[in-house]
Structure formats: structure tokens, C-alpha cells
A and B are shown apart, each in its own frame.
Chain A
Amino acid sequence: MARSNIVTITVSEKPTAPPPTIGHISLSPSYQLITLYSDFTLNCKVTDVNGNPLSGVRVSLYYIRSDGSLRLTQVRNTDSNGTCKFGYVISSPGVLKFIAKADNVESNTATVEAVSTHDIYLKISPRTVQTYSGEEVTFTVSVKVKGSPAKRGTKVELYKEREHILLKEAYTDSSGNAYITVALPVGEYYVQAYCAGASDIDAIANVYVRD
């Protein structure tokens, strides 16, 4: 038998790659009006310093108390697109502010205003539309919350009634008005505007669209 010299080799654990650095966390929408007991969602997106989405990041959503302190409410992991969703139902009226955090990086503040359906007043104009197929019509929807114009960025939806088909959505400007331009389908029907799931008798318009 022949035996060789001896050499020594050292085996070590492969070092794991350092976790990517979080560059930005965004929470959207930054403002939304909701009615009590209706679901609402806050969308979160996490990107690295180069703007690339980061998956598998543990994101914590905090409710900002009136004294500025934070209360952890939900924790989610981002998906392959670097996004995650936080869902909520609010039972008390008021303005709530939220912030998301991951690895000590903070998002923008998202504000959610919860009101009773009775506090939302919508008015659509024109109330009667006669037009032809293919022609666009612009509706102006005025939204008031507790008697004051809705905040800028409040979402308004226009539905074709009976079937409750969503035609289009738009957001209010600083005067609480949303302008919805839509090409209506042929027929004689109503369209109705909604805001945060609430509507009003004044938010209904008669539509006559001919071929």
C-alpha cells in the first residue's frame, strides 16, 4: 500500500447575501373616503434604492394615534411585485392616519376618513342627457362630506343602473368636483354616481342614447 502526504482543507459555511436595502415604501391611496363598515384597502409597494420591487419584505402597518404614537395593526410580506395589501373595516366615524414601516424605512402617511352614508351628498349634472352612440358626455359630480366639499382625490364612480355596471371612475378636484367623461351605451336608462359606496337621489341622471 502506498500512502500520500497529508494536506489540510478548511470548509466553511457559505456566507448569505446581505438583505437588499429598502429605498422607498409607498402607501396608497394617500387619501380615501369610506363609509362605516365598508371594506377599504391600503396598497403598499416596497422598492430598493434603484426603484426595483423588493419581494419577501416584512411590512408593518401602523395606526397613528392623535398623540403621534404608533400602534401596530397589521403585518404583511411583499409579493414578487414588491406589493402587499392591508385590508380594514372601520366602525367609528373619524379620520385615521396610517403609516407603513420596514427595516426602519417609513412610508408616506395614508389618511382614511370614515363617515356615515348620511354624511355624503352627491349631485350629478346634467340630470338629463340626450345623445347619440359614440358621443362622449361629461358629467360633473359634486361631492360634499358633512356639508363641505370632499377633499381632493376622493374617488367617485359612475354606474349604469339596474345592471350596476361600472362605467368609469374619477377623482375630485380641490372644489370637491369630479368630472367623468364617458361614451354611453345605446339605450334609455339611469346612471348613478357613488362615492365611498354611498349615493344620493341627486346623483341619478336620465340618459337617452340613440344609434
Chain B
Amino acid sequence: MSEIIKAIQDFIYWFLQLLGLIPPPSGIYDLTITIDKTEVYVGEPFTVTAKLTLDDKPVANQVIYVFANDIAIGDAKTNSEGIAEITAYLYDPGSYSIYAEAYI
């Protein structure tokens, strides 16, 4: 019963937040990425590991998008530790800036 009440409360909270009647949760989001390789061959997979925290606490179930020179190359959801692993491929030789974004 209490779970149902909690779910209704969460929904109302989310809905009011959507209408802008409640400010978004305050705190500092931090998104950090690492990659397993800094040099790859064309078409060779590499893994981007992203960690998302809010006030140093992991944020779970959040979609992380990875970009290479501003073009999206993959996405994945964070786990309970706030970590998402994205395997990506690049098919043109060159140097790429890799970063990630989470739309919170």
C-alpha cells in the first residue's frame, strides 16, 4: 500500500516538476568518462566508460550519450553504481574528441 502511495507521490512530484512548479533537485551533477584505448584502427571497437553522480552519489538508470566530434556514436543507461559502458566504432581515420552528455 505504502509503495502505491510512494509511486503516486513520485508521479505528482515529477508532474509538478515538469510544469515548472517545483524547481529541479539542487546539487551538483558530475559526468566523467574514460576510454580503454587512445589509439584504434578503423572499425576497431573501443569502450567509453561513463560515471554519473549527483553530489557524489551515483545516479542510476540515466541514459548517457557519447559523442565523437559532436556526432553521437552510442548510448547506454547507467547501472546502480552510476556507470554506463558504451562500445563504439569509428570508421574514418583522424583525431576525435570524445565526450558524453546526460539530459537530466
Which A residues are within 8 Å of any B CB, using their own CB?
Answer: 1-14
Contact = CB atoms under 8 A, between A and B. Distances in A.
A5 B92 contact: no
Interface stretch (B2-10, B12-20, B28-36): B28-36
Interface residues of B, number: 33
A102 B68 CA distance: 45
Enumerate the 3 nearest inter-chain pairs by beta-carbon distance, A residue then B residue, closest first: A2-B29, A4-B100, A14-B41
Question: Which DSSP category, helix, strand, loop or mixed, fits chain B's interface?
Answer: strand
Interface string B17-56: 0000000000001111111011111111010001010000
A6 B98 CA distance: 5
9 contacts: A6-B99, A7-B35, A7-B38, A8-B97, A9-B96, A10-B38, A11-B42, A11-B96, A13-B42
Given A2-B31, A4-B31, A11 B41 contact: yes
A11 B101 contact: no
B98 to A, nearest CB: 5
Interface of B: 29-35, 37-44, 46, 50, 52, 68, 90, 92-104
Contact of A4 (B37, B50, B90, B93): B50
B96 A8 contact: yes
Contacts of A11: 39-42, 90, 92-96
Given A9-B68, A9-B90, A12-B39, A3 B95 contact: no
A136 B39 CA distance: 73
Contacts of B31: 2-4
A134 B90 CA distance: 73
A4 B42 contact: no
Contacts of B44: 14
Contacts of B98: 6-9
Contacts of A12: 39-42, 93
Contact of B104 (A2, A6, A13): A2
Contacts of B100: 3-4
A2 B35 contact: no
A7 B96 CA distance: 8
B95 A8 contact: yes
B52 to A, nearest CB: 7
B102 A5 contact: no
Contact of B101 (A2, A7, A10, A14): A2
